[in-house]
Structure 1
Amino acid sequence: MDSRIREHAEVIVDHSVRIEKGDTVRVAAPTIAEDLAVAIYEKLGERGAKPSLSMRSSRADRAFFRACETDDFELPEQSLAEMEETDAVIIIKGAENTAEMSDVPPEKIAAYRTATAPVQKERMGKRWVGTQFPAPGEAQLAEMSTDAYEEFVYGAVNKDWDEQREFQRQMVEILDPADEVRLVSGDTTDLQMSVDGMKTINDYGEKNLPGGEVFTAPVPNSVEGEVLFDKPLVHQGREIEGAWLRFEGGTVVEHSAEKNETALTGVLDTDEGARRLGELGIGMNRDIDRFTYNMLFDEKMGDTIHLAIGKAIRQTVPEGQPYNESATHLDMIVDMSEDSFIEVDGKVVQRNGTFRFEDGFED
């Protein structure tokens, strides 16, 4: 087995979810990522854990969704019961065909997410990690050879996470005590929001692997202005390009997209919370140096910020603060490398992708 796969498994088990003897661990993986699942199982066995494995098929998922009616989805009680008894969850991504779900109606996906929201809420309270196996589907989506994509993935994943944590800590110390944030990029994005009372999280490869961002939650009703997401995203097999949102009183009141606007509309119509922001994230992983149409990597890319419509991440919202609830959470990216700045409490803390605490910053 490729030594990089074994290293990936070790980072997952020992760094990301910190498995201990006796832990009940659920591993969910696509069939193409069997090698990584095997390597993880080996590590879990060495640590005396109690694992269960779910090998997923996107073709089977597609067949199920196309056969069901929108009103058929109900809470899967067995899945909730299993999650309640689980200590840690490891979720592996990887596809032979990233567009397998592209002909599933968006309203079916939205209905399923709503029905299974209690399962996801339970999972968020566990030790969990989502990671990527360098499969051919994602390599093709990134317009890379499989070998080159493997190098890219392992370069972003198998790294010194203590060093990355310390680099990102400098931004956490700026954002965590802040009241107001303003994001400006060219003449297409000027967005203001309050983060007063919210918690800023240093993501260094725990919940997401790779990590490489700091993120917080806006106060839901505070977001004002407009934003153009100049990086595309792939959602349920559909590529959305040129997504534009305008906020008033924290709510999306206008939206458009240059491509697949109906897919964006479907997400916004999931529920009331889907029209509000649940996350502000700042990408800081400089080993992710190219856009690959994979949000797990793209949102961590240096010189970018990302905003998520929908569910806030629970750990960013302290008790007593307003929490944005939704069955969806969709990240979208703004390139901040040119003609852009991030302002915190009236002070520019990043300009054209360079942070105030980095060499080359121009005030």
Structure 2
Amino acid sequence: MPAKEMLEKYADVALRTGVNIQKDQPLFIMAPISGADFVRMIAKRAYELGASDVHINWTDDTLTLLKYIHQSEEELTDIPDWIIEQRAYYMKKGAALLQIRSTDPDLLKEVDGNKVAQATRATAQALQHLRKYTMNDIIPWTIITIPTDAWAQKIFPGKSAEEATQLLWDSIFKIVRVDQDDPVQAWKEHNATLHHARDVLNEKRYKKLHFQSEGTDLTIGLPEGHIWKGGSSTTEGGTEFNPNMPTEEVFTMPHKYEVEGTVTSKKPLIYDGNTIDNFTLTFKDGKVVDYKAETGEETLKHLLETDEGALHLGEVALVPHESPISQSGLIFYNTLYDENASCHIALGKAYPTTLEGGSSMNEEELDKHGVNDSLTHTDFMIGSADLAIDGIFADGSSEPVFRNGSWAIKFD
């Protein structure tokens, strides 16, 4: 384990910058049992900062794997009411949501993929009505990670579990700025940089983005009234929070019916405990009409079959190749990290907050504006050192946005 001081700094920045816990606010934590000591630190600090209640939802990779091996598909897809009611209770009370992710990327690779896909779909359907609390920024929420031996050794093959885990802790601390003297201040400065980038993009009012790199020639339409976001967000009640730690992206929503061309992944995607790698999607009228993958094609098929919305895009995000995560030279086999090393797009649900007035629109109005809806929201990485992006205006003129994987726009 790393030094207690570093863990305490990590807990503090997750609470003060991540969810920005408020006095008398409940805190709902989803965490692996392997991180119990760290979670206790978070709970202690949360109460010191004024939290009224800290509730932990524990998970465990070993127990999860046993469930998938031994339970039937019928049992796995029967989501108990108490799980839904428990989550709803805290969301309706305005709790802050902190997710601590720490999963073996290959956890379910030997499990029947159809069984996993059906269980994932059933859980998403059961909790669908609660997604508005995070997708619409009704409550503050954030996602952070802590190492597991299996995850660490996937990133650092050939190292012992102890060595790999320490290396991963060191990488996490650096990437989320915990290694700095004042992580909270460092995040304020980082957020200011991302806010400036999103403000410049919002002034551009691009009609389309055209992506080109090896294996990719893709045009993404942007709906009228789209909003670029990045860095910290603000809840309906005015609380500033950081949804992802780390984050290096600025993002908005594509028009669900205006995506054309082919895109090729540039980093592995871990989905449902399996790896999808070197895959290509072809879009027509916004919909995936063809796909192939060198690794995990069956898993990709299950993802695309989640529902109709899984065949359309819900996010487009820009990340320069010189982001600190990219420059680390590591593949993390974890979307939270890998998506912040590379431009990415997401299959599935769009964030209504990335459209003017989107948070107050009903499903029909959102669809009319080109806003995608789905049970899934799955990011995958498409950025690389050779990526070029052009911004196309309503009059058909264009300008460089990215060249050689980095910003071509001047932000001064």
Per the normalisation by structure 2, the TM-score is: 0.80
Query: Percent of aligned pairs with the same residue?
Result: 26
Contact 1:21 / 1:48 at 8 angstroms: preserved in 2?
yes
In the other structure, the counterpart of 2:124 is: 113
SS of aligned partner of 2:382: strand
Which of 306, 319, 323 is the equivalent residue of 1:286?
Answer: 323
Q: Give the letter aligned to residue 78 of structure 2.
A: F
In the other structure, the counterpart of 2:29 is: 27
- Separation in structure 2 between the aligned mates of residue 111 and residue 59 of structure 1, nearest angstrom: 21
Contact 2:175 / 2:246 at 8 angstroms: preserved in 1?
yes
In the other structure, the counterpart of 2:78 is: 73
CA RMSD of aligned residues (A): 2.2
Q: Give the letter aligned to residue 73 of structure 2.
A: E
Structure richer in helix, relative to its length: 2
1:24-45 alpha-carbon deviations (Å, 9 max, x no partner): 1101110111232112112111
SS of aligned partner of 1:307: strand
Query: How far 1:127 moved relative to its partner?
Result: 0.9
- Separation in structure 2 between the aligned mates of residue 140 and residue 348 of structure 1, nearest angstrom: 40
- Separation in structure 2 between the aligned mates of residue 75 and residue 193 of structure 1, nearest angstrom: 40
**Structure 1 position 343 matched with structure 2 position 383:** no
Contact 2:316 / 2:344 at 8 angstroms: preserved in 1?
yes
Query: How far 1:143 moved relative to its partner?
Result: 2.0
- Separation in structure 2 between the aligned mates of residue 190 and residue 315 of structure 1, nearest angstrom: 28
In the other structure, the counterpart of 1:213 is: 249
Q: Give the letter aligned to residue 8 of structure 1.
A: Y
In the other structure, the counterpart of 1:352 is: 404
Which of 137, 147, 160 is the equivalent residue of 1:134?
Answer: 147
SS of aligned partner of 2:317: strand
- Is 278-287 or 329-338 further displaced after alignment? 278-287
SS of aligned partner of 1:234: strand
Relative to structure 1, the CA distance from residue 70 to residue 35 in structure 2 (aligned partners, 3 Å threshold; closer, same or farther) is same
- Separation in structure 2 between the aligned mates of residue 185 and residue 193 of structure 1, nearest angstrom: 15
- Separation in structure 2 between the aligned mates of residue 141 and residue 217 of structure 1, nearest angstrom: 32
Contact 2:195 / 2:231 at 8 angstroms: preserved in 1?
no
In the other structure, the counterpart of 2:267 is: 231
Map 1:89-168 → 2, pairs under 5 A: 89-95=97-103, 97-102=104-109, 103-104=111-112, 105=115, 106-124=117-135, 125-143=138-156, 145-158=164-177, 159=183, 160-168=186-194
- Separation in structure 2 between the aligned mates of residue 312 and residue 75 of structure 1, nearest angstrom: 27
Per the normalisation by structure 1, the TM-score is: 0.90
- Separation in structure 1 between the aligned mates of residue 371 and residue 65 of structure 2, nearest angstrom: 32
Contact 1:213 / 1:283 at 8 angstroms: preserved in 2?
yes
Which of 163, 167, 182 is the equivalent residue of 2:210?
Answer: 182
Query: How far 1:313 moved relative to its partner?
Result: 2.0
Structure 2 unpaired stretches of 5+: 158-163, 178-182, 233-240, 362-368, 393-397
Contact 2:313 / 2:350 at 8 angstroms: preserved in 1?
yes
